[in-house]
Structures are given as structure tokens and as C-alpha cells.
């Protein structure tokens, strides 16, 4: 378990910078990994980055399932259609 050392909360300015960085394609995704697994990252930002990565994994999984379902429907319609 991590220590209970009190840290100052992440400021609004830092959260705005964090959001701007994560909005940059690829850079934001890489930074989520850096923030999620770095020992020097503030615990609240670390937890937010981990939650964001989990959310992205769920969304990608749903996209893959949708592509598989609709792709198989399209193939089926092409093979057995009129």
C-alpha cells in the first residue's frame, strides 16, 4: 500500500494543461501511460490516467466487437443475398 503522505491537490491550471496535452493525438495517449505508471506523478492524476486507459480499452473492445458483428453481417449478406 502506498504511503499516506499528504500532498497538495492538483491545481486547476495543472488540470487544464493535462487536458490540453491529452487532446493532442498520440502524445496524449503516450502521456496517459507516463502519468499512470510514473512514481513521481500526483496520486490523483495517476488514478485519473489509469481510469482513462481502462476506459479507452473498453471503448476499443466495443469497437472491435461492432466491427466483427457488422463485418460478418455484411459478408453474410454478400454471400447469401439476392
For the whole model, what pTM was predicted? 0.79
| Residue ranges of domains in the chain | 12-80
DSSP the chain: -------PPPPHHHHHHHHHHHTSTTHHHHHHHHHHH-TTS-HHHHHHHHHHHHHHHHHHHHHHHHHHHHHHHHHHHHHH--
- Tens digits of per-residue pLDDT, 3-62? 556 788 999 999 999 999 999 999 999 999 999 999 999 999 999 999 999 999 999 999
Amino acid at each position: 500500500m502506498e504511503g499516506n503522505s499528504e500532498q497538495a491537490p492538483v491545481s486547476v491550471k495543472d488540470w487544464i494543461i493535462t487536458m490540453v496535452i491529452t487532446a493532442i493525438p498520440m502524445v496524449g495517449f503516450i502521456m496517459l501511460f507516463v502519468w499512470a505508471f510514473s512514481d513521481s506523478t500526483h496520486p490523483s492524476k495517476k488514478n485519473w490516467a489509469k481510469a482513462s486507459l481502462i476506459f479507452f480499452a473498453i471503448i476499443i473492445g466495443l469497437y472491435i466487437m461492432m466491427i466483427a458483428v457488422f463485418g460478418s453481417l455484411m459478408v453474410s449478406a454478400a454471400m447469401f443475398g439476392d
